[in-house]
């Protein structure tokens, strides 16, 4: 594996104080409530525009992983898989199938990857008793890459495989940083390295496991590919309600950096980013002291200029947190979060931008 030089990024972009932005229309809101506590783990979009979500429900101290198809026109949810685990579910979509990576339950805990076609027909299963899943993503054609932790050797490993067959495994040199996420887009694999007190960095690889570049410090650890070998990154400075958004080119260099302020609340956090057709959408949560959390969704154009913003406090205005977002056809935005019913319930929403 080639080692490339560190490329410095200077986060000195412009700041925008965002006041009143236009709000999107709400197409529908759909709630999934098993009464055990339901949390979205990953939201993806099938080739035909069908949103698919993997989520966990807590039941007798185990996690039950649900995988659901969402009808984009009305939010109807179709359940097609459930699997008990003792770890966090991570999911991806590649062509017409979904894969989930979980920590398998005792007596033989380890990494379990299960691959399904839409409708719940199992395609491939991959098991490794020495690994723990950290993050998983995939691309059209079925190529997948996964970030794992080897507890026996105390190493971070990045794996690439296709159709249940391992293609390569490389050890990540993390130093004082910790790998936290992986993003796959076509020929490119991006690994986010947590800053541990400083800002995160990204290591970029091709789909053969060869390193392309290592970025300098980024504005956040939630990333999305720009489709051309570069990426967008998002984060927040919670204390002043500022949302950070930056773009990195296909050599790891900074293109621009925006700092926008949400003036609704006092504290803000970013949880996901989506990019499609020149549109960038962020989702997260915000609150003030002694005020229940609200879900926020913010849309930008490809130059980082804010387009619209949405603030949602749950079905009864009591509590909501944003977790996942994807962009569908014609600018439709699908969000996944949680609100409080009898327990935490998973909520899907469709927003129509202006």
Strands 165-171 and 155-162: antiparallel
- For the chain, domain boundaries: 23-352
Element (H, E) at 350: strand 344-352
Please tell me the predicted confidence (pLDDT) of residue 106: 57
How many C-alpha atoms does 324 have within 13 Å on its Cβ side? 22
Please tell me the predicted confidence (pLDDT) of residue 11: 36
Please tell me the predicted confidence (pLDDT) of residue 143: 83
**Considering only CA atoms, which of 10, 97, 16 is closest in space to residue 260?**
16
Q: What is the largest distance, in Å, between two alpha-carbon atoms of the chain?
A: 55
Please tell me the predicted confidence (pLDDT) of residue 222: 95
Residues 232-251: tens digit of each pLDDT: 999 987 667 789 999 999 99
Residues 176-185: tens digit of each pLDDT: 788 989 998 8
What is the arrangement of strands in the sheet containing 25-32, beginning at the earlier edge strand? 25-32, 344-352, 332-340, 320-327
Please tell me the predicted confidence (pLDDT) of residue 301: 93
How many C-alpha atoms does 150 have within 13 Å on its Cβ side? 12
- Provide the CATH topology of domain 23-352: Methylamine Dehydrogenase; Chain H (2.130.10)
Distance, CA of 108 to CA of 269 (rounded, Å): 37
- Give pLDDT < 70 ranges for the chain: 1-20, 34-36, 47-48, 58-65, 80-97, 102-109, 118-124, 126, 129, 140-141, 174, 238-239, 262-266, 288-291, 341-342, 354
Element (H, E) at 339: strand 332-340
């Amino acid at each position: 594996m080639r080692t490339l030089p560190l490329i410095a990024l200077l986060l000195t972009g412009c700041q925008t104080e965002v006041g009143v932005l236009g709000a999107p229309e709400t197409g529908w809101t759909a709630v999934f409530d098993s009464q055990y506590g339901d949390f979205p783990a990953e939201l993806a979009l099938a080739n035909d525009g069908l949103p698919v979500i993997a989520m966990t429900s807590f039941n007798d101290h185990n996690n039950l992983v649900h995988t659901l198809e969402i009808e984009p026109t009305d939010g109807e949810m179709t359940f097609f898989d459930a699997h008990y685990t003792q770890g966090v579910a991570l999911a991806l979509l590649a062509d017409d199938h979904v894969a989930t990576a979980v920590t398998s339950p005792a007596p033989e805990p380890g990494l379990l990857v299960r691959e399904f076609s839409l409708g719940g027909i199992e395609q491939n299963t991959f098991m490794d008793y020495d690994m723990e899943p950290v993050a998983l993503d995939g691309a059209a054609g079925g190529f997948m890459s996964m970030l794992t932790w080897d507890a026996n050797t105390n190493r971070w490993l990045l794996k690439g495989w296709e159709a249940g067959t391992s293609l390569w495994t490389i050890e990540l040199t993390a130093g004082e940083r910790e790998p936290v996420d992986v993003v796959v887009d076509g020929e490119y694999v991006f690994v986010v390295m947590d800053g541990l007190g400083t800002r995160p960095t990204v290591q970029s690889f091709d789909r053969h496991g060869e390193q392309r570049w290592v970025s300098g410090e980024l504005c956040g650890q939630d990333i999305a590919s720009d489709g051309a070998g570069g990426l967008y990154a998002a984060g927040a400075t919670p204390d002043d309600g500022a949302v950070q958004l930056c773009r990195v080119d296909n050599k790891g260099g900074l293109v621009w950096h925006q700092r926008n302020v949400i003036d609704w609340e006092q504290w803000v956090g970013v949880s996901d980013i989506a990019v499609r057709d020149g549109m960038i959408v962020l989702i997260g949560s915000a609150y003030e002291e002694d005020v229940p959390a609200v879900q926020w969704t913010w849309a930008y154009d490809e130059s980082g200029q804010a387009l619209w913003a949405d603030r949602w406090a749950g079905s009864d205005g009591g509590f909501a947190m944003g977790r996942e977002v994807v962009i569908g056809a014609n600018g439709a935005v699908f969000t996944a979060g949680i609100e409080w019913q009898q327990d935490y319930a998973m909520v899907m929403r469709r927003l129509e931008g202006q």
